[in-house]
Amino acid sequence: MKGLQEIFENKSFGKILFNEPMRNHTTFKIGGPADVMIIPSNEEELINVIIFCRENNIDFLIMGNGSNLLVRDGGIRGVVIKVNEGFNELTVDGTKIYCQAGALLSTASKLALKHSLKNFEFASGIPGTIGGAITMNAGAYGGEMKDVVKMVRVLDKNNQIREYTNEEMNFRYRNSRVWDEGLIVLGVELDLEVGEYSAIEEVMKDLTCRRTSKQPLELPSGGSTFKRPEGHFAGKLIEDAGLRGLRHGGAQVSEKHCGFVVNVDNATCKDILHLISVIQKVVKDNHGVELETEIKLLGED
C-alpha cells in the first residue's frame, strides 16, 4: 500500500483516493478498502492512467456506478479506476446521442425525453453508467443496450482507440465483446427515433411506477441478483421455494421481490454470499434449476 501511495500521490490522473472504502462506491454499500481509487475527469486522464498502470505492471480494474458489484470485505488490492463523475458528458445530434462512458443511464434517458427521442425508455431506471451498461448489455422491461447502440468507442489491450459497430460488439444476454477482449469503454453513440414527448414520458412514468412498486429500491442491493434462467423467472423460483424474507446476518431475500438479495443491516460480503449459496442450493433441490448470479464479485476476503 505504501508503495502505491508513493507512486500515485503526485500524479495528474484526476481525483486520487487512498485506502478508500468500496462500500462508499457500490449500491450494495458493501466492500473493504481499495488501495488506490482514481476518478479521471476526462478521457485523456483515463487513458493515461490505464497506460501508466499497464506499463508499470500495476493491477487495476475499471468500475462505473458500482450498481452490480459485490466487493469482498478485505477490499481490492491495486488500483480501482472509477469512470463516473467528471467523465459523463452527453451530446445530442439529431436522433443520435453520444455518451461518455461515465454518464448515467438515467441522465441519458432524461436527455432523450427532452429531445423527444424514443426507444431508450427502458434504461430510465437502471442505476448504472453507459460504460457498464455496454459491458454487460444491460436491459430491462423488454429493452437492451444492443437495441439502441450504433457505435462503441473503446481502448483495447494494446492501448489503441477503436470504434466498433453494433454488429461488431457481439452483444448477447448480459454480455458483450467488452468482456470477451478486456476492452475499456470510452464512449457510446446511441441511435434513437423521433417520437412524441408525451408518449415517451408516459412510458417512463409507467416503468418508474412498476419499479418502485415491485423492486426494493429503498434498500441497498446490487440490482437483480440472479440471471433469468431459461424458461423461468428467478424471483418466482425463489418465492416458490419458500425463501421470501430469508435472512443471514445483515443480508435478506427481499420481501418485495425475491429476485433481489438486499442489505438490511450493515451486511458483509460474507453475509450476502452465504445467503446466495443457500438460495442456489434450495432452488436446485426444489426445482432442478441452477441460478447463476448477475452481480460481479471482486476483491479479497
Quick check: is 224 catalytic?
yes
Instruction: Fill in the DSSP letter of residue 67.
Output: T
Indicate the residue type of 298: L
Q: How many CB atoms lie within 10 A of CB 165?
A: 11
> H/E element holding 296?
strand 296-298
Instruction: Find out whether 209 and 135 touch, Cβ atoms under 8 Å.
Output: no
Q: Which position among 109, 221, 224, 254 bears the catalytic label?
A: 224
What is the C-alpha to C-alpha distance for residues 48 and 139, in angstroms, rounded to an integer?
31
* Closest alpha carbon to 69 in 129, 155, 156: 129
Q: Which position among 174, 189, 221, 254 bears the catalytic label?
A: 174
Quick check: is 239 catalytic?
no
Backbone angles phi, psi at 37, to 5 degrees: -120, 130
Quick check: is 67 catalytic?
no
What is the C-alpha to C-alpha distance for residues 36 and 48, in angstroms, rounded to an integer?
16
- Positions marked active-site: 174, 224, 294
